[in-house]
Amino acid sequence: MDILSLYTAPKNTKYMVVDVPDVGLLNSLGLRAGTKVTVQNRYALGGPVLLRVEDAYSVAIGKDIAKQIGVTAC
């Protein structure tokens, strides 16, 4: 399976998180290996990505962390 960086992964496709940095808040918000996410919006000039997590809630993640999150299509 190809692992993409969440920061560049195309919009409106469902992904599964496979690799995530050890950040407490990400874990609390439910972003861990196995979580299903969709990229909803992307923001120019180094802005964050807005994710829909498990089809239930939206979380925005800054570029510098989003780059470190690996996902695969599912």
Partner 1 sequence: MLNTNSARMGIAGSAYPNDGRHSDRREPSKTKILLMGNPNVGKSIFFTELTGIHAMSSNYAGTTVTFMEGRFKLGEKEYTLVDVPGTYSLDPTSEAETVATEFVKSGAAAIICVLDASNLERNLRLALELQQYNIPIVYALNLWDIAERHGIEINAKLLEQELGAPVVPTVAVKKQGLNELLKQLENMLSNTKSADHACENANCTSCPFNRFGKHGNDVFTSAKEISRRVSRKTKSNLKFIDKLGASMVKPFPGIPIALLVMALAIAAVVFGGRGLRAGFLLPLVQGLNINGVYYGIVPLFQWIFTAIIPEGMLLNILIGEFGIFVISFEWILALIFPYVLLFYVVFTFLEDTGYLPRISVLFDNIMRKLGVQGGSLIHTIMGYGCAVPAIIGSRAATSRKERIVIAVAICFAIPCISQTGALISLFGEFAWWMLPAIFGFSILLFILVTLIAGKFVKGKVDPLIIEVPNLLMPNGKAFGRKLATRMRHFLKDAEKPMLIAIIIAAVLAESGLLAIIATHAEPLVSGWLGLPSEAVTALILGIVRREMSVAPLLALELTTLQAFVGGVVSLMYIPCISVFAILAKEFKAKIAIIISLGTIASALFVGGLINHIGVFFGG
Residues that bind partner 1 (CB under 8 A): 23-30, 32, 41-48, 50, 53-54, 56-66
Tokens of 30: 């439910």
Q: Pick between residue 2 and residue 6 the one whose CB is nearest to partner 1.
A: 6
Q: Pick between residue 15 and residue 49 the one whose CB is nearest to partner 1.
A: 49
Buried-exposed string 13-27: b where 16+ CB fall within 10 A, e elsewhere: eebebbebeeeeebe
Nearest distance from residue 3's CB to partner 1, in Å? 20
Nearest distance from residue 37's CB to partner 1, in Å? 13
* Pair 59, 49: CB distance under 8 Å: no
